[in-house]
Structure 1
Amino acid sequence: MDHDVDDHDRGLAQDLEIISRRLMGRRAALGWFAGAGATALLAGCGGDGAASSGTTTGATDTSSGSAGSGTSTGSGAGTDGDGSSGSCVADPTETNGPYPADGTNTSNGSTSNVLTQSGVVRSDIRSSFIGSTATTAGIRVDLTLTVVNVDNGCTPLSGYAVYVWHCDANGGYSLYDLPAESYLRGVLVTDSNGQVSFTTIFPGCYAGRYPHIHFEVFSSLSGATSGRAAALISQLAMPAGACSAVYATDGYGQSSTNFARTSISSDNVFGDNSSAQISQQTPAMSGGVSTGYTATATIGLAV
């Protein structure tokens, strides 16, 4: 799917400037579609801009696994069985892109906020839950995220809400490119181990971006659903080996071609991150295309 570059593609700082200057206020945006229906949403699909920060420096790690093998291992920070993390860094802030559906952006006079919708709190995000009940196709991924406090020995943070969203196998985003669908979006609250577990699919690769999953972290579920500011907005980078294996299968459109033209180091979001940040942003994955993947990643917050 083609993604045209627009003002929303130029990073979080640019996004915030535009939002504050031109768009609806956060409080006014809490309605589902302010003055417009779902069909008024974007028909086009755009790449995300970059805005990352961090104090750690180092060489960029492409975090690849073994393409085509039964197991693909990324370099994401590992977690112990009790949810605690042996090491962690603060995840860099990244743009939420043009298609967050979190009430922060407007297209053609309408604003979408999936966070206020009944049913958004769910673990399996492969099906739509607003109007349509369609299920999107793709290689299954069981994704567990562990939210930790980097200022307190990487201890787990319980009671935090995590909102996850990403594109489908063809690179399209629900509620925007696919205005009748709401799949591949969901919220969960971290347990006593600081963990949430989503069932989703491996995202496709569209032109101009390295394959990724978006997420926002809120200090509570009420914070997420009431429109308060997220404690962290960032992205996960998919392991290169798993990307090569998945994109060689049917159903992923132009992902293989698009993936061959990009890399983490050239990506306009991940390209300026340190090796430690990229390591943590890259999920550790096991499994394969025939059985699906299990993925884990640590999300570090300074609180």
Structure 2
Amino acid sequence: MTGQETAHGPKHKRDLTRRKVIAAGAGAVVAAGVGGTFAAGAFAGEKTADTNGKTAGEVCYKLTSETTEGPYYIDADKLRRDVTEDQEGIPLTLRLKVIDSETCRPLANAAVDIWHCNALGVYSGYEAMGSGGGGGGGGGTPPSGTLTGTPTGTPTGAPPGGGGGGHEEPTDDERYLRGTWRTDKKGEVVFRTVFPGWYQGRCVHIHTKVHVNGTWTDAGYEGGTTCHTGQLFFDEESVLASAEVEPYSTNSTTRTTLDEDTIYPGNGTEGGLLTLKYKKGAIARGVVATLTMGVDPEATHDGTDGSVQPGASASASTA
């Protein structure tokens, strides 16, 4: 967002470079047992993360916080709902709803991107950079060091995988844990993936973008504007539970907590904090993560211009 824009002031649209998403089949429907069983509703012993005390109505009228794009975005992701490929990890069903923050009406036919690291902190397309760009351990090899159950210390230096630092050119052709899909008439989109791991300097998170005013073609999604660039976050209790499960338990990188993270705005669901549901004591069976994202379809937020600082909301970034 430019210095002249505010959350409710004049807007402008910027045509994006022609954007083509490679169609990779029809995309897998969320698997039964994860999407099916979990979508049915609450069950005995399930864990639901704190949503910072906000009701659905309160969340509805809030702009979801903008964040930086990070260095590992690839603007050629596959058009698919199942982004797992061959990655090991806790099954994660990610259910997002995109609404207009002014009217609360759902945004249908928007293109939603997600991308995140694997259980060991490695991004596809950047395996040579190792765990979150920290160097070494390319190809998913766990970094060396001593495993610590409870995160300690504070992050030092720029966060390697979610903050600034500019865009990095991909080092390989891998594209696991990346994908794009359209919202339905209710503004909803569902992805099947795995619970992300962690890497030095960042808490557990998923990157996302929302594109509007483009065209869906046989080749994918083209043109339009990016009205939201953000990150989705996981509560500490759930992350610590995941750390007990392989292969997360082999990730020896010192983890940054949600409170220590320099990107998370600290404002609950408005800042991208997911609501998580899973059977307590059996997180390995799968997790359902949900969030309603309030966006301004008339704005342009591509997360690369530097106007949105780490940990700043869209409205605060102009201060």
Query: Scaled by the length of structure 2, what TM-score is found?
Result: 0.59
Kindly provide the amino acid, as one letter, of the partner of residue 169 in structure 1: A
> 2:185 corresponds to which residue?
192
Alignment of 1:1-303 (within 5 A): 27=17, 71-76=46-51, 85-88=56-59, 89-102=62-75, 113-114=76-77, 120-127=78-85, 135-152=86-103, 154-177=104-127, 179-220=172-213, 222=215, 225-226=221-222, 228-252=224-248, 255=251, 258-259=254-255, 262-270=256-264, 272-275=265-268, 277-278=270-271, 281-287=272-278, 288-303=282-297
- CA deviation after TM superposition for structure 1 residue 210, in Å: 0.8
- CA deviation after TM superposition for structure 1 residue 164, in Å: 0.7
- CA deviation after TM superposition for structure 1 residue 71, in Å: 3.0
- CA deviation after TM superposition for structure 1 residue 269, in Å: 0.6
Q: How many residues align?
A: 213
Relative to structure 1, the CA distance from residue 30 to residue 187 in structure 2 (aligned partners, 3 Å threshold; closer, same or farther) is closer
Instruction: Structure 1 unaligned segments of length 5 or more: list them.
Output: 1-11, 14-25, 33-68, 103-112, 115-119, 128-134
Instruction: Structure 2 unaligned segments of length 5 or more: list them.
Output: 3-15, 23-43, 128-138, 140-171, 298-319
Relative to structure 1, the CA distance from residue 28 to residue 238 in structure 2 (aligned partners, 3 Å threshold; closer, same or farther) is same
- CA deviation after TM superposition for structure 1 residue 181, in Å: 1.8
Per chain length, whose mean CA-contact separation is higher, i.e. which structure has more relative contact order (CA < 8 Å, sep 6+)? 2
- Cα distance in 2 for partners of 1:229, 1:211 equals 27
Contact 1:77 1:298 survives alignment (8 Å): no
Relative to structure 1, the CA distance from residue 275 to residue 124 in structure 2 (aligned partners, 3 Å threshold; closer, same or farther) is closer
Divergent runs of 4+, >6 A: 28-32, 77-80
> 2:8 corresponds to which residue?
none
> 2:39 corresponds to which residue?
none
State the identity %. 30
- CA deviation after TM superposition for structure 1 residue 185, in Å: 0.7
> 1:59 corresponds to which residue?
none
Coordinate RMSD, CA, aligned: 3.2
Kindly provide the amino acid, as one letter, of the partner of residue 197 in structure 1: V
2:48 match: secondary structure: coil
- CA deviation after TM superposition for structure 1 residue 27, in Å: 3.5
Contact 2:115 2:206 survives alignment (8 Å): yes
Q: More helix by proportion, 1 or 2?
A: 1
Relative to structure 1, the CA distance from residue 216 to residue 78 in structure 2 (aligned partners, 3 Å threshold; closer, same or farther) is farther
Contact 2:199 2:253 survives alignment (8 Å): no
Contact 2:235 2:258 survives alignment (8 Å): no
Relative to structure 1, the CA distance from residue 188 to residue 220 in structure 2 (aligned partners, 3 Å threshold; closer, same or farther) is farther
Contact 1:78 1:284 survives alignment (8 Å): no
1:198 match: secondary structure: strand
